[in-house]
């Protein structure tokens, strides 16, 4: 990883030229840096968590998008032809190419993108905008889980995506149990509305959940880590007839007691990326000003410092929420 010069962006008539101000590094970027991301097409410019300002607009761009507006970006593509697109679930397009994963991303000074992918961010700052995409992934998982106010929801993993799932579940009136191995993250989850927290490294998870749920287990478990241990925990701990929502990509094969799938009559659902409505919901939440934004940003670095920051993150992956790269 390093800083290189690239050709100047050429903007087409249906595109918007963005001046990047803050771009976030996420867990998939860390996996790419460590050579463990099965989805990435190398070499690639990383970055899909965007806080930017519109620099210029093409001739075919609607009037609602104007130079000077603070925006974020929907970083996914959709083909319009696959089964997912046909079913209007374009976030799960079979041929999706996410910025910074399957195609060059936004970790640069300028980028030109189709106007349809530009999301106005209201009164938010570009710095805060860089948090929208990962939180929207957590919001989408809660939609997939069909969470209501009578549910107990366990969120495994309190990174940015997991925090989004905590917030959205709280907004829907659910009783939220946040689980992680880091007490600082659990403390922040509590601040963001979780009713209970469990350190899965030091506590008896099963006993705590039975105590919290009067012996039933959680109605919903959202897996936001991506490890064999947490996937197994989700299936083992969810209540009979519960819903398990899978966000994290496990880096190794996972073995299950499949009898639980049948005995519990579980709904096991994947949750991929986010829909435009999820982005809007996160913006609405952040505009209220109740989110502890500064606590979610572990470090802000300049582009020249990015490689060093990623190296340090790789040495202690559990201690970082978000690293933002400042292009201002």
Count CA atoms within 13 Å of residue 17 on its CB side.
14
81-138, pLDDT tens digit by residue? 999 999 999 999 999 999 999 999 999 999 999 999 999 999 999 999 999 999 999 9
Residue 36 has pLDDT above 90, yes or no: no
Task: Please tell me the least confidently modeled range out of 35-39, 150-154, 285-289, 308-312.
Answer: 35-39
Q: Are 188 and 295 in contact (CB under 8 A)?
A: yes
Q: pTM score, two decimals? A: 0.94
Residue 299 has a pLDDT of 93
pLDDT of 246 above 90 = yes
Average pLDDT of the residues in 232-251: 95
When pLDDT is cut at 50, 70 and 90, the band that residue 29 belongs to is: confident
Q: How confident is the model at residue 142 (pLDDT cuts 50, 70, 90)?
A: very high
* Span 52-86, pLDDT tens digits: 999 999 999 999 999 999 999 999 999 999 999 99
300, 324 Cβ separation under 8 angstroms? yes
Residue-averaged pLDDT of the chain = 94
């Amino acid at each position: 990883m390093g800083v290189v010069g690239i050709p100047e962006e050429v903007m087409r008539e249906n595109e918007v030229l963005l001046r990047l101000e803050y771009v976030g590094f996420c867990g998939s970027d860390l996996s790419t840096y460590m050579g463990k991301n099965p989805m990435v097409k190398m070499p690639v410019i990383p970055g899909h968590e965007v806080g930017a300002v519109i620099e210029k607009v093409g001739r075919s761009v609607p009037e609602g998008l104007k130079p000077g507006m603070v925006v974020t970006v929907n970083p996914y593509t959709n083909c319009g032809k696959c089964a997912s697109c046909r079913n209007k679930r374009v976030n799960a397009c079979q041929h999706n190419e996410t910025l910074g994963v399957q195609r060059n991303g936004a970790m640069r000074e300028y980028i030109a993108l189709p106007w349809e992918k530009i999301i106005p961010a209201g009164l938010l700052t570009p710095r805060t905008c860089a948090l929208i995409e990962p939180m929207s992934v957590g919001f989408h998982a809660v939609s997939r889980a069909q969470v209501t106010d009578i549910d107990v929801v366990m969120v495994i993993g309190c990174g940015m995506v997991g925090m989004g799932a905590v917030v959205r579940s709280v907004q829907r009136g659910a009783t939220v149990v946040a689980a992680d191995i880091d007490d600082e993250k659990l403390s922040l989850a509590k601040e963001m509305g979780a009713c209970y927290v469990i350190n899965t490294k030091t506590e008896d998870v099963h006993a705590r959940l039975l105590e919290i749920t009067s012996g039933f287990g959680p109605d919903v478990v959202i897996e936001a880590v991506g490890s064999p241990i947490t996937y197994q925990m989700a299936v083992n701990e969810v209540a009979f007839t519960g819903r398990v929502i899978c966000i994290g990509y496990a880096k190794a094969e996972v073995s299950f007691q499949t009898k639980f799938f049948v005995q519990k009559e579980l709904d096991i659902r994947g949750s991929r990326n986010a829909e435009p409505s999820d982005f809007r919901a996160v913006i609405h939440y952040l505009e209220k000003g109740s989110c502890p934004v500064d606590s979610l940003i572990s470090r802000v670095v300049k582009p020249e410092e990015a490689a060093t920051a990623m190296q340090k993150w790789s040495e202690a992956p559990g201690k970082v929420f978000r690293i933002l790269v400042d292009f201002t």
